[in-house]
Structure 1
């Protein structure tokens, strides 16, 4: 009986022993499995991180990041600030949330975001980009990084760590001049607003042509590239096509680039780009602001385009026929003066056009009639004044018509 009790007790001890071993083995196995999972996750994470870094470096080089660094290397502090990481932009846009989209089209999407320094920005994210567009992208960054003017859109930086590089601008909330001009019925832009926007645009172009260390020609001035902020202050945008002009040269021979209807005919025919090409485009835009008519594909009953028709009416003293009724009712005696500035800007021969500095002065003077009358060197015998009744107008207009027709099949 004693023996049996001892035997039963030993069995119980053995069961407890083996049960404890099983628990230990189970816990150890579970811990080992968890450790293996953690190690696998860590290795996978490190691999993905390294792969992402390699991809970012590849895209950085592919997007000519090194060239960009060289272009802005004169100011290391600017170069460092200009290149923004993908992580920063993902945070700024809540990972490019669709709710943050503020515009876009066939070429890409624009997002509104807030950077870590609390600047509100517009992030342009193209869908795809060919080599020419990459060159334009680098060109725009290089130019805008060196410009500081209240009427030029501010570029905060760019991201080169994605397949298609992204640009980060100050956020301009009120759309483009084009958006305001071309709506049904009366528009919110008064005559004074239009005159001020034209003057601000002229100031920015005069700055680009004559104040920057190396003259810059915008090459695509049009209402769609004039942004307006909350106070309707003009901000010139889109410098992808812009060109530097060497100080020792009066112009540059380059392939024609620009927008049909605003393109300087002399530049189109000769491929010789000068600051007077911007003057022509500005003149077309000024005509558009006064008439609310698009330069292309506008065609008058006589077959003239908008520029030719406007110039002919001005020469005949009948320009009021084509003006926006709102301009007629609000413009007073300044309207003909501004029309004269526009006509001077779109003369066929570049050397007959005024400089943007002269246009700026004339527009400022037109906003202050008293100053205009006192400032004789600007108002009287100014290069802007259309003293000729355009005796060679028929030749000018026929050439322009020829240009418009040929421009439908640009080089």
Structure 2
């Protein structure tokens, strides 16, 4: 068989099927996630933690908490303090009210109700002479004005001569007044138990009905006020002034330091310092005197004393101490040095009428001290 006669066999064309292989030439390749490049990843929010900022927040929170707690405790403490303060203030106010009421009750004592008790107490406790009203009336020529030594808010003082010839000074207190009764009791309670050469001695007393009389030793040379301020009196020598000052100070020191109980005079002034023939001073008039036992617990609701001699702290608070007397004796010393009254509107006492302010003003100038001294008839050599 010839090869030419054999028909040639050929393969039929292959059927065309849709290609499943993408045409890389015409279609872009689908994006595949990459484990290397971050550029193909979608952005996510940052979740990193700021460590320093968190610490600051914690510290700030703690600080605020501490401040709040501290302020709370402080406020609580203030509230407690205010409560205790108001409570204490109420107690003090109540106590002061009770003191005032007690003082008013003491001040309102009826002399008639006390006369029998006072007479019984006096005769048993004092041990002084008990005079009759007739005895003293006779001694003073029926309380004649010719025997009148002085007078004041308390009553009158007369010169008298007892049956045995003893010279006496008889103080007749105003009858029927509570103040006179209190002064009478204060005089007896105080002066009957004190004995000092610079204190006036009590010789006796008289209680007759509403009449209250006290009998003292007679001191002949009148008062310091008379010698310093009476018109047409010669100026007192410095040696005498010094002697009087020392005597008055010794008498006051005895009351404050050696008495039992200690006593506060409450009315130290030139008019209550008596002078004897040798110019020895004797402190007198104990009608306002108070025992230190009373002053420890009592605030006076009635300021007693003489204007110009009152200590400022006593006048403002009513609390009485020995310092009140010390201030008063200091004013007396200024009187002795300057020859001027404690209060005198006729004198140029700086911007005030007080000798204390005037002296303080001059002393502050340091160059005008000599203006304080009373040189009217005393030489500087006698200072």
TM-score tier by shorter-chain length is: 0.5 to 0.7
- Structure 2 partner of 1:206: 253
Asked whether 1:70 is paired with 2:121, we answer: yes
Asked whether 1:262 is paired with 2:312, we answer: no
Q: In 2, Cα distance between the equivalents of 1:206 and 1:246? A: 17
Q: In 2, Cα distance between the equivalents of 1:102 and 1:260? A: 23
- Structure 2 partner of 1:253: 299
- Structure 2 partner of 1:321: 371
Q: In 1, Cα distance between the equivalents of 2:339 and 2:312? A: 22
Asked whether 1:155 is paired with 2:205, we answer: no
Deviation at 1:178, TM superposition (A): 0.4
Q: Which secondary structure state, in structure 2, belongs to the residue aligned with residue 325 of structure 1? A: coil
Q: Which secondary structure state, in structure 2, belongs to the residue aligned with residue 160 of structure 1? A: strand
Query: What TM-score does the superposition give when structure 2 sets the normalisation length?
Result: 0.63
Q: Which secondary structure state, in structure 2, belongs to the residue aligned with residue 303 of structure 1? A: coil
Given the alignment, which residue of 303, 319, 341 partners 2:351?
303
- Structure 1 partner of 2:291: 244
Mapping 1:2-401, distance limit 5 Å:
64-67=115-118, 69-70=120-121, 73-74=124-125, 78-79=126-127, 81-104=128-151, 108-184=155-231, 187-246=234-293, 252-255=298-301, 256-298=303-345, 300=348, 302-304=350-352, 305-317=354-366, 318-326=368-376, 329-330=379-380
Q: Which secondary structure state, in structure 2, belongs to the residue aligned with residue 246 of structure 1? A: helix
Q: In 2, Cα distance between the equivalents of 1:129 and 1:227? A: 28
Q: Which secondary structure state, in structure 2, belongs to the residue aligned with residue 169 of structure 1? A: strand
Q: In 2, Cα distance between the equivalents of 1:286 and 1:121? A: 28
Closer, same or farther: CA 158–322 of 1 in aligned 2, 3 Å: same
Moved >4 Å (runs of 4+): 59-63, 249-252
CA offset digits 1:392-411 (Å, max 9, x no partner): xxxxxxxxxxxxxxxxxxxx
CA offset digits 1:358-389 (Å, max 9, x no partner): xxxxxxxxxxxxxxxxxxxxxxxxxxxxxxxx
Deviation at 1:328, TM superposition (A): 6.5
The unaligned stretches of length 5 or more in structure 1 are 1-58, 335-411
Task: Give the RMSD, CA atoms, in angstroms.
Answer: 2.8
Q: In 1, Cα distance between the equivalents of 2:209 and 2:223? A: 28
The unaligned stretches of length 5 or more in structure 2 are 1-109
Query: What TM-score does the superposition give when structure 1 sets the normalisation length?
Result: 0.59
CA offset digits 1:78-128 (Å, max 9, x no partner): 43x342112322332344445444444676433222223432111122454
Q: In 2, Cα distance between the equivalents of 1:185 and 1:94? A: 30
Is 1:114–1:121's contact at 8 Å kept on the other side of the alignment? yes
Deviation at 1:61, TM superposition (A): 5.2
Is 1:300–1:306's contact at 8 Å kept on the other side of the alignment? no
Of 176-185 and 64-73, more deviation after overlay is shown by 64-73
Q: Which secondary structure state, in structure 1, belongs to the residue aligned with residue 215 of structure 2? A: strand
Q: In 1, Cα distance between the equivalents of 2:360 and 2:381? A: 19
Matched residues, number: 270
Closer, same or farther: CA 273–60 of 1 in aligned 2, 3 Å: closer
Is 1:126–1:164's contact at 8 Å kept on the other side of the alignment? yes
Q: In 2, Cα distance between the equivalents of 1:276 and 1:64? A: 34
Q: Which secondary structure state, in structure 2, belongs to the residue aligned with residue 179 of structure 1? A: helix
